[in-house]
Amino acid sequence: MALLRPLTPTITLIDLQFQGRVETIASYLIYDGETAALIETGPASTIDTLLEGIRAAGAPLEALRQIFVTHIHLDHASGASVLARQLPWTRIYVHPVGAPHLADPSKLLASAARLYGDELESLWGTIVPIPAERIVSVNDGDEIPIPSSTLRVLETPGHARHHHAYFDLNSRLLFTGDIGGVRMPGVPYVRPPTAPPELDIEAWRASIARLRALDASGLCLTHFGLFRGNLEWHWNDLEQRLVAWGEAVRAQLEQGADEATIVQKLKAQAEQELAHLEVDPRQYDVAISYESLVAGYIRYWSKTRASTS
């Protein structure tokens, strides 16, 4: 059954119910009664839920013209490949660095296979190339007409080098992808998804500064949902944890701890941080695992050391 949350008269959140769990991956539908756009597709494995959600929101599939992805990680964009094939009238909007990987996902799949092994397909689904003529590369500052509004593209590296956030100039909602962190509805806790291989703490902080300055009316996180109210608090919580966890991992590395030990320590620390909050901590782990968090930091610190020594 489709789980929808109408956010504005034209914007609807579709809960993709990844791995049978609610509130892990969101897709956002913009539909004005004539044409429709999507921001984030989620993975290929939840495409049926997405299509059901679009229809349940009242939008015929023929109305869907534009599909925007924030970056090409599989939990955000692998669904775009299936949509492009099933709905040949759509165009996929992506960062120019991400575009070639959507047209030829072989490198993306090879690195994902190293990470997920046999589980790759059951987790993320079957990923197919998108014909290059269907892909639209968009750049920082571009303003793209969407149904009843305009979407501004914001280059926001840090989580990945090729990451965009999208700002809806009408509703002033900001679609953050992963640069806005992972936060469960109603929970005052933001986790930085510090996945390898492109984590860059300083770039991430610069992106946060840029997004803070926008005066958004709310944040639409892919993991998970719309947050209004004190956005300053949200950015502060994200930034301080991004830095604090990074320092904790660095201190462990300097003491010679191995990766498995660091994972255990970070998990213990995070579980303590979450202990007094009313949330199942696994909701955060589905969006990003401790192994992935730590691997991202370790890779970042090894690159930083290599460039300063």
Binding to Zn ion in span 115-154, by CB under 5 A: none
Least distance CB 133 / Zn ion (angstroms):
26
Q: State residue 40 phi and psi, 5-degree precision.
A: 75, 135
**In whole angstroms, what is the distance from residue 159 CA to residue 11 CA?**
26
Does residue number 73 form part of the binding site for Zn ion (CB under 5 A)?
yes
* CB-CB contact of 204 with 157 (8 Å): yes
The size of the chain, in residues, is 309
The amino acid at 189: Y
From the CB of 202, what's the least distance to Zn ion, in Å? 18
Site string for Zn ion, 178-197 (x = CB under 5 A): x-------------------
Part in contact with Zn ion (CB under 5 A); list of ranges 138-146, 172-180, 248-256, 284-292: 172-180
Choices 25-33, 89-97, 166-174, 176-184; region in contact with Zn ion by CB under 5 A: 176-184
Q: Which residue is nearest to Zn ion (CB)?
A: 73
Q: Which of 77, 288, 300 is nearest to 192 (CA)?
A: 288
DSSP secondary structure string, 170-218?
Answer: TT-EEEEETTT-B--TT----B----TTT--HHHHHHHHHHHHTT--SE
C-beta of 27: minimal distance to Zn ion in Å?
15
Alpha-carbon distance values, 143 to 95, 132, 153, 154 (Å): 14, 22, 6, 10
Does 168 interact with Zn ion (rule: CB under 5 A)?
A: no
- 164 counts as binding Zn ion under rule CB under 5 A: no
Applying CB under 5 A, the span of 20-28, 173-181, 215-223, 274-282 interacting with Zn ion comes to 173-181
Q: Which is nearer to Zn ion, 9 or 197 (CB)?
A: 197
Binding site for Zn ion (CB under 5 A): 73, 178
